[in-house]
Amino acid sequence: MKENNKKLIVGVLLIVFIGLFAITFLNYLDTSKIIEENTFNLTELISTNVYSEIQLELVKPIYVSLTMANDTFVKEWIQENSEKNSEIIINYLEKIKEKYDYDSSFLISDITKNYYHHSGILKTVSKDDSHDIWYYNTLEQNLPYSLDVDTDQASQNDLTIFINCVIYDEKGDPLGITGVGVKMKNIVEIVKKYNEALGVEAYLISSDGLVQIHAIENFIEEHNIFDNPLYAPYKEELLLERELPNTIEVEKSDKFLISYYIEELDWHLIIEKDTAYLYSWQQEQLLRQLSVFIIAFLILSFLSMQIVNYYQKINFTLASTDSMTGVKNRQAFDEYMDEKLDNSSDDLQPLTIMILDIDNFKQINDTYGHIEGDKCIRAVADLMKQYIKEEDMLARWGGDEFAAAINSDIDGTLQILEKINEAQKENPVFQKYGITISFGITAYREGDNLETLLKRADKALYNAKESGRNRVEIE
């Protein structure tokens, strides 16, 4: 797994390097054309810088939102926990908001239609509420993610860009939508910066020409550029979905337009420039923008490597760790055992497999409730971790059941269990809830595979239960 992660990181970094090298080379050619041909290409470079900054501002929240939508914890909370403890998901959303310094984070369950916000349960979405139509439209679009410009009802109705990612279950059915919100003012500041510094008018439009981001807030989702008879004839050209910017001279005008398609947003960046003021500072602006271009892509390269490394570590931890107890999960146990069983029989000696669970756990849940029941499961995991070494393997098997692989013979394992048994007597959680544990253990035999080992251990656990519980049985 770690080797695969390394290969993935190297592959991603290689792609980033090649991509940035290619973009740098292409922009170098564009710069040469600026010097050799005309001043139009200078504004193409300006549009590239605006495009890059907007990408840096919005691509990361898109990645974070996609990670949330694919988070096993989120899916299990909706399906298995049935949303019984809203504080769990609210705390999760609050941590996402604080960790990445976003303006909001949210989750809407398609089961209850509850709108969970980092500050609490905001509302229940409904088809009858015009403000909630976006939710049902997003589910029907069948896209990895979508962006929606709307007012944030939980934050003084500030205009916000919401990244909406659909959460799917294992069958591909939607469980809801999650994501984060970035205040429109953050993107508007980028646009204003270039407008003021470079004498352009930059804004973003959707595929129908409706303004999505503009320095003038009243234009957002209210103004359509193709209502302007000067621009209407160029609609098809401006909306081309191409990787490179598209330059258009506007007839009967001193203006020209640059259109840049941003695939991640499915929006078009539009740059308006009056050519009458361009020629006087062409050469000086060329050098300045070339420097900005190089710095921007160097920063993008560095951030790409950091993000890939960071999320690879998170994904590996999430994939192998039980979120409630902090011990390994069943998948990690299987991988550990597969690796062990790939060795020779001599290398596998000695090895003991143990399966254990809490006696009468249903009664504990019925008496004290599921939250206290979870506390009991964590107490068992914490106790076991104290006596099972790091080179061994302890995993939550499911529910109140755990599995362990001990690199020791039966006698050595029994000594560990004696220490655990003594520790139970002094553990306050065990005493409060009357927790006892039944163990089924078996030793590795030549020719064993994972199925035969688990079958014997499970039979031993069954015998322990049948023999009165709170005991150890060997098969």
Decide: 184 and 109 in contact? Cβ < 8 Å: no
State the pLDDT at residue 56: 73
C-alpha 353: how far from its chain's center?
Answer: 35
Q: 114 vs 103, 143, 156, 176, 412, CA distance in Å?
A: 20, 22, 20, 10, 52
What is the C-alpha R_g of the chain? 30
Q: What would the mean pLDDT of 50-56 be, rounded to a whole number?
A: 74
Q: Work out the number of other CB atoms within 10 angstroms of the CB of residue 353.
A: 27
- CB 224, CB 210: distance < 8 Å: yes
Q: Is 58 exposed, middle or buried (0-12, 13-18, 19+ CB in 10 A)?
A: buried
Is it the case that residue 54 has pLDDT exceeding 50? yes
Task: Examine the pLDDT at 267 and tell me if it is beyond 80.
Answer: yes
User: Is residue 5 exposed (0-12), middle (13-18) or buried (19+ Cβ within 10 Å)?
Assistant: middle
In this prediction, residue 90 carries a pLDDT of 92
Could you tell me the pLDDT band of residue 304, with boundaries at 50, 70 and 90? low
- Packing angle of the helix pair 370-387, 410-426 (nearest 10 deg): 130
Q: What gap in Å lies between CA 53 and CA 214, rounded to an integer?
A: 15
Percent pLDDT > 70 in the chain is 77
Q: Which CATH superfamily is domain 64-184 in?
A: PAS domain (3.30.450.20)
pLDDT band, residue 442 (cuts 50/70/90):
very high
Domain ranges of the chain: 1-39+278-313, 64-184, 330-474
**Pick from 385, 389, 414, 415: nearest CA to 402:** 385
Domain 330-474 has CATH 3.30.70.270: yes
Q: Is 419 exposed, middle or buried (0-12, 13-18, 19+ CB in 10 A)?
A: exposed
pLDDT at 131: 83
Cα 56 vs. chain centroid, distance in angstroms? 17
Instruction: Identify the pLDDT of residue 143.
Output: 83
The pLDDT of 287-306, averaged and rounded, is: 60
Same fold, 64-184 and 330-474: no
State in Å, rounded, how far the first CA of the chain is from the last one: 32
For 52, the token pair is 């890059």
User: Where does the pLDDT of residue 31 fall: very low under 50, low under 70, confident under 90, or very high at 90 and above?
Assistant: very low
Q: Is the pLDDT of residue 452 over 70?
A: yes
pLDDT (0 to 100) of residue 39 = 47
C-alpha neighbours within 13 Å on the C-beta side of residue 91: 6
Tens-place pLDDT, residues 90-148: 999 999 999 988 888 999 999 999 999 988 998 999 999 888 898 999 998 888 888 88
C-alpha torsion sign, points 444, 448, 453, 456: negative
**Looking at the whole model, is its pTM more than 0.85?**
no
Which is higher by pLDDT, 312 or 417? 417
Mean pLDDT of 302-310: 63
